[in-house]
Structure 1
């Protein structure tokens, strides 16, 4: 394992993500790339968006450095494919930030990027997985949109990139797949560097360029790892909470006859803020559940069929508990307020 290069790539992503906003923030302000608050927003004043371009630049730079690591030609080609896919997806997001795109156009772009990336990765895997191209296209397109749907409060996307990136880096170490360690570490470091900017007194937002980057980088890395033979438990468990929140909310809205593609505040993480948690507290709830399912994925692989069954049951319980957290915290906050009111009297 080229640990020196792993450290170098992670440090490059982290430092670039921390420092590049110093240059990009004034530029975005001059271009008036702003997120205007609405009744569906979790913020109350115009806020700079599009700062995901700094995370994108950091991740691209770090992956470029990784191409000089002592890896095989195939592993370098996989990293290059991941780089191109996340760059293409982020470009779609940047256009969306600047001028907007029709829903159908966005969907077709996401599917095209996912299909092309999966086909190349299947070829690099020896051409044995071309039939996975449609599934890979849907997976990439779906997770880009999941990440976009879930990017609604400060801290949530940065923490998600950090946790899932680390989970994939650990999966790479456990399976001795060096490129996966590097890719996971770069994703984790890139989004960790954005957190201080997003959680500051005057926060900035990733924008679509950043949420598309988050979804595409995680999804295409998972597709590449799957084609390389990494156990699916390692890949699916870290994204389970995001998928559950996004798809359960989607199904509820469709069943209610609502326009599912219109912005709203019905996700579990959004309802946590509505009932009284801060953005960081709500993001911490989501992140804690994600850490739990990630650990259960590792447990499942390490303990065979019995471990898989136990982990599956526990993951279901974690998901159900997470989806109930808005109701749970609402009751706790009401009880606390009642006690405080009683003491005041």
Structure 2
């Protein structure tokens, strides 16, 4: 492991975000508040490109390190770059939803091709090889991951701290479970840390679709690659991602059941209701950090350390998160003031 790379990635993301902020201000690339916004002041957007560039530039230096194959790195670069490009173009103009979705599935197929598809999964003590059904499900999972990450990037610092907590949590799980040290998540966490300096409440720049989509698909790829190392590690990733998966899925299902046009912008996620309830973004962002550190991370570590059933632990971890989503009214209609 080239440890100097960690400092370089952090510094690069920090500097690039500042430069992107100046670029956005000069070009008028502003996120202007509207009835569906969770912020009140016009704010530059597109800072997530700094995360993308910092992480992708670092990847060639990881070739062969800690068991990272060239195929795995190709999957990350290809899929991540395509999703970031689609998001960047959408941030600067507009791409029809059908074309975005097509690009998302192409990126997912690229990633799965290079990492070998979806490996066998362990459930209730059985190792199940799902074959083509597993590969198709994995593609849908990757597309959902990148879209839900975009949905959850709605208040200051939230998507950033989630990525940092999940990546650092994955590193801890790998290490404590005897699977060695995981380099790629650590590099991604440092890239996001550099961006977070500018994005922590009150945010001076937003991530934009380029950054949020990139984080979603990259975290999804890392979780599937982890399953090739050990089936248990895939469940650990799903546990660590619990806050975003539960809120986004709970909200989507509730809106679908009500017959809403789910592709339209809204602010009915649980975290959005919570931020309005507390009158600020920071308490919600910090609460997510605490949930990750003191609930989800310990459960993920226990599962792999003591070889507990993944599905059972996933349901156990998600249950209070579903209650929280229901408590704050995730997916419900916002009351008109």
Q: With structure 1 as the length reference, what TM-score do the two structures score?
A: 0.84
String of CA shifts for 1:132-155, please: whole Å, max 9, x gaps: 432221111100000000000001
Contact 2:117 2:135 in 1 (8 A): no
Larger mean CA deviation between 11-20 and 282-291 belongs to 282-291
Equivalent-residue separation in structure 2 for 1:307 and 1:150 (angstroms): 25
User: 1:318 Cα shift?
Assistant: 2.6
User: 1:31 Cα shift?
Assistant: 2.3
User: 1:100 Cα shift?
Assistant: 1.2
Contact 1:143 1:219 in 2 (8 A): yes
Q: Which has the larger radius of gyration?
A: 1
Residue 302 (structure 2) aligned to one of 276, 283, 299: 299
Which position in structure 2 is the counterpart of 1:20? 16
Which position in structure 1 is the counterpart of 2:190? 189
Which position in structure 2 is the counterpart of 1:106? 100
User: 1:22 Cα shift?
Assistant: 2.7
Residue 276 (structure 2) aligned to one of 251, 274, 277: 274
Map 1:28-39 → 2, pairs under 5 A: 28-39=24-35
User: 1:177 Cα shift?
Assistant: 5.3
Equivalent-residue separation in structure 1 for 2:203 and 2:300 (angstroms): 37
Which position in structure 1 is the counterpart of 2:204? 203
Three-state SS of the structure 1 residue aligned to 2:154 is coil
User: 1:130 Cα shift?
Assistant: 6.7
Which position in structure 2 is the counterpart of 1:144? 146
Contact 2:66 2:183 in 1 (8 A): no
Equivalent-residue separation in structure 2 for 1:215 and 1:81 (angstroms): 14
Which position in structure 2 is the counterpart of 1:92? 86
User: 1:305 Cα shift?
Assistant: 3.9
Distance 1:169 1:37, change over 3 A: same
Q: Could you say what the CA RMSD is over the residues aligned between the two structures, in angstroms? A: 2.5
Distance 1:120 1:129, change over 3 A: farther
User: 1:117 Cα shift?
Assistant: 0.8
Distance 1:202 1:288, change over 3 A: closer
String of CA shifts for 1:82-130, please: whole Å, max 9, x gaps: 12221111111111101111111111111110011101110798xx997
Equivalent-residue separation in structure 2 for 1:228 and 1:130 (angstroms): 18
User: 1:274 Cα shift?
Assistant: 1.3
Equivalent-residue separation in structure 2 for 1:229 and 1:181 (angstroms): 13
Equivalent-residue separation in structure 2 for 1:148 and 1:202 (angstroms): 17
Q: Which runs of 5+ in 2 are unaligned?
A: 120-128, 330-337
Contact 2:76 2:218 in 1 (8 A): yes
Equivalent-residue separation in structure 1 for 2:17 and 2:140 (angstroms): 32
Larger mean CA deviation between 92-101 and 24-33 belongs to 24-33
Three-state SS of the structure 2 residue aligned to 1:152 is coil
Q: With structure 2 as the length reference, what TM-score do the two structures score?
A: 0.86
String of CA shifts for 1:145-198, please: whole Å, max 9, x gaps: 0000000000101101101111222233346656x7111101111111111101
Which position in structure 2 is the counterpart of 1:224? 225
Equivalent-residue separation in structure 2 for 1:136 and 1:10 (angstroms): 30
Residue 54 (structure 1) aligned to one of 28, 50, 55: 50
Contact 1:9 1:182 in 2 (8 A): no
RCO comparison, higher one (Cα < 8 Å, 6+): 2
Distance 1:204 1:271, change over 3 A: same
Equivalent-residue separation in structure 1 for 2:286 and 2:202 (angstroms): 18
Contact 1:272 1:325 in 2 (8 A): no
Equivalent-residue separation in structure 2 for 1:190 and 1:313 (angstroms): 31
Equivalent-residue separation in structure 2 for 1:95 and 1:307 (angstroms): 39
String of CA shifts for 1:252-271, please: whole Å, max 9, x gaps: 11122211111111111000
Q: Which runs of 5+ in 1 are unaligned?
A: 328-345
- Larger helix share, 1 or 2: 1
